[in-house]
Amino acid sequence: MEETKQKLRAERNRTLILTDSEQAEIFKKLLIPDDSLNLELENIVNRTICCDLFHIIDRLPVEIADLIVIDPPYNLDKNFNGFKFKSLDNENYLNYLRSWFPKIVKLLKKNGTLYICGDWKCTSALQTIMEENLFVLNRITWQREKGRGALSNWKNSMEDIWFGVKDKNNYFFNVEDVKLKRRVIAPYKENGKPKDWEETENGNFRITYPSNFWDDISIPYWSMPENTDHPTQKPEKLIAKLILASCPIGGIVLDPFLGSGTTSVVAKKLNRQYIGIEINQEYCKWAEKRLEIATNDKSIQGYVDGVFWERNTLNIQQKILKNNKKNNENKIANLFEFEDEKDY
Ligand SMILES: C[S@@+](CC[C@H](N)C(=O)[O-])C[C@H]1O[C@@H](n2cnc3c(N)ncnc32)[C@H](O)[C@@H]1O
């Protein structure tokens, strides 16, 4: 039977599963380049390229991407479905970065932006490689919650996202599209009127400009429809912020270590184009399946009504989507499932 190989899952577990027949269909959608394939833009845009980045990196067209999102193997021992990354000393990890990073930067348009993610251990190498190749504008810290506790060390609960551009006088940044909606704890009034916040039937809220400390995003969890079995999957909400802020509508977002497809999926949901490269065939298939689902379901958890909501506001987000009836059936269904997540 097709499903017999699947893991046993809890009833409300929404983790992506592909049946054998689906796998065969999805496989046909992948772009598996051989040495003769012309990798010009029109052949690779809006595709999942399934191969080793190092086999094609010198053949990709230059200055094509408005935004590059890089979530590389961190400097940890990690098994990506058979592709094993072995932890290196700092200098050798930097050498590994130097073997491909400058080539990826060449793919960025002159006014383009690049983000690269890492944890505390590899962040100094990331800063070095960014400073060698781009203008660094900031380092975002994502408080990601979850993660294992440790008895002889502090629990690892944060990641960095380095933000750099090719030309510090000419780059796209749309802060209006990445504002946050936060509950007001101390509602201050002036002349009896709310100061910088609004009173609504759902509570008191303030819309704020985003800082470089992000504490409103959980890592994907089994009850969320975006979840796959990828060991280091990024949340759609996190990638949505990068894309909305740093890529114009219709622009091209490139991810050279695509994993389960998060960057391409979010680009599609937000009406941008995408190019994703991933070495592992199973991950590529998950990415394509998620892209297929995104054709009809544009919902991104925690991003409702054009703003990013703080944690523990799921009930209110549901209420708003219900009131705002247009085309929201999928979003509402998904949000109900998110109740399990509980935002830790
Ligand atoms: C940190 S994960 C990316 C996870 C991704 N952001 C997501 O949301 O699923 C890094 C990915 O890079 C892939 N990878 C590592 N080396 C690669 C290479 N040389 N070419 C292409 N992909 C590679 C791994 O298989 C892994 O899926």
Q: How confident is the model at residue 11 (pLDDT cuts 50, 70, 90)?
A: confident
* Mean pLDDT, rounded, for 140-148: 83
pLDDT tens by residue, 194-222: 888 888 888 899 999 999 999 999 999 89
Instruction: Indicate if ligand 1 lies below 6 Å from the C-beta of 71.
Output: yes
CATH numbers and ranges of domains, the chain: 19-174+209-304 (3.40.50.150)
What single-letter DSSP state applies at residue 78?
E
Question: Residue 144 pLDDT > 70, yes or no?
Answer: yes
Instruction: Indicate if ligand 1 lies below 6 Å from the C-beta of 49.
Output: no
Q: Choose one of 258, 260, 265, 288 to mutate for the ligand 1 pocket test, by most ligand atoms within 8 angstroms of C-beta.
A: 258
User: Six-digit token pair at 293?
Assistant: 């689902």
Q: Which of 66, 162, 65 is nearest to 119 (CA)?
A: 162
Distance, CA 335 to ligand 1 centroid (Å)?
Answer: 28
Q: What pLDDT is stored for residue 256 in this prediction? A: 98
Region at 203 (left for phi over 0; alpha for psi -120 to 50; beta for the rest) = left
Could you identify the atom of ligand 1 that is nearest to the CA of residue 100? 19
pLDDT tens by residue, 52-106: 999 999 999 999 999 999 999 988 888 888 888 888 899 999 999 999 999 999 9
Could you identify the atom of ligand 1 that is nearest to the CA of residue 234? 8
Side chain identity at residue 87, one-letter code: S
Distance, CA 201 to ligand 1 centroid (Å)?
Answer: 44
Distance, CA 261 to ligand 1 centroid (Å)?
Answer: 9
Q: How confident is the model at residue 328 (pLDDT cuts 50, 70, 90)?
A: low
Q: How confident is the model at residue 326 (pLDDT cuts 50, 70, 90)?
A: low
* Mean pLDDT, rounded, for 112-136: 97
Q: What pLDDT is stored for residue 325 in this prediction? A: 60
* Mean pLDDT, rounded, for 251-274: 98
Read out DSSP for 137-172? EEEEEEE-------SSS----EEEEEEEES-TTS--
Q: What pLDDT is stored for residue 336 in this prediction? A: 41
Q: How confident is the model at residue 2 (pLDDT cuts 50, 70, 90)?
A: very low
Instruction: Indicate if ligand 1 lies below 6 Å from the C-beta of 99.
Output: no
Q: Which residues contact 342 (CB under 8 A, 6 or more apart)?
A: none
Contact 228/252 with Cβ under 8 angstroms?
A: no
Lowest mean pLDDT among 215-229, 258-272, 289-303: 215-229
User: Alpha-carbon torsion 315, 320, 323, 329, what sign?
Assistant: negative
Q: How confident is the model at residue 150 (pLDDT cuts 50, 70, 90)?
A: confident
Read out DSSP for 56-110? HGGGSPSS-EEEEEE-PPPSS-EEETTEEE----HHHHHHHHHHHHHHHHTTEEE
Distance, CA 233 to ligand 1 centroid (Å)?
Answer: 9
User: Six-digit token pair at 24?
Assistant: 């065969």
Q: Which residue has the higher pLDDT, 42 or 9?
A: 42
Q: Which residue has the higher pLDDT, 200 or 133?
A: 133
User: Six-digit token pair at 253?
Assistant: 């977002």
Q: What pLDDT is stored for residue 57 in this prediction? A: 97
pTM of the model: 0.91
Q: What pLDDT is stored for residue 306 in this prediction? A: 94
Q: What pLDDT is stored for residue 170 in this prediction? A: 98
Above pLDDT 90, what percent of the chain? 69
**Chain mean pLDDT for the chain:** 90
